[in-house]
Amino acid sequence: MTITKSEIPKNSLLKTNNMTYDYIDSFQGQFIDKLQNIGTTEIGKLFFSSGPKWIDKLFALRNKLVGVFGLKTSGKITDRQKMLKDYKCEKGEQIGLFKVLDKTDDEIILGEDDKHLNFRVSLFIDKQNENKTDKILIISTTVKFNNWFGRLYFLPVRPFHRLIVPTMLKGIIKNIEQQN
């Protein structure tokens, strides 16, 4: 499975809002949807269940460190499977720091606004292929700094982010392939 760096899709909600960002990245990977049953809701659920355990440990460390500064934390997610069972991936729902801000047939926008920065994560399914089973999943992240602390905060986060997103994308695609 190949994960490559890419651009925010031209049809992405992140492009249509005319925002400028301080940080942008996108990664993509291809998957085959044999049953043609993988949509944004399934991708949204897989986003929260496909990461390796070390990512959870990094988030726990992050929460401990930033809570001291009054930043939002994801809280303790004690029963993720139960949360995901009830999760419909609808606008307004939230798991941890990730609130569903918008949703279309092709894309979910997750994110949060905090005093130091605002972030968005787009989970975009590119279905514009002749073969209806071949799809591309593109995960794009944008960050807008609200102050100098946001810039300072993101300095150590940036290298981990560039490692985490491709790892999560691989996990999502692996789970899709196992389901098909």
> Helix or strand or coil: residue 117?
strand
Q: Residues 34, 180: contact at Cβ < 8 Å?
A: yes
d(CA 135, CA 115): 37
What does the pLDDT average to over 78-83? 58
> What is the side-by-side order of every strand in the sheet holding 98-103?
3-5, 23-32, 134-145, 117-126, 107-113, 98-103, 94-95
**Position 75 pLDDT exceeds 60:** no
pTM: 0.85
CATH number for the region 27-179 comes to: 3.30.530
User: In whole angstroms, how far apart are CA 169 and each of 13, 46, 81, 113?
Assistant: 19, 9, 19, 23
Mean confidence (pLDDT) of the chain: 84
In this prediction, what percent of the chain has a pLDDT beyond 90?
49
Q: Residues 51, 87: contact at Cβ < 8 Å?
A: no
What does the pLDDT average to over 167-177? 92
> Helix or strand or coil: residue 29?
strand
pLDDT for res 76:
56
State the pLDDT confidence band at 180, using cuts at 50, 70 and 90: confident
d(CA 93, CA 107): 15
Over the stretch 81-118, which tens digit does the pLDDT of each residue have? 666 677 888 999 988 778 999 999 999 999 999 888 99
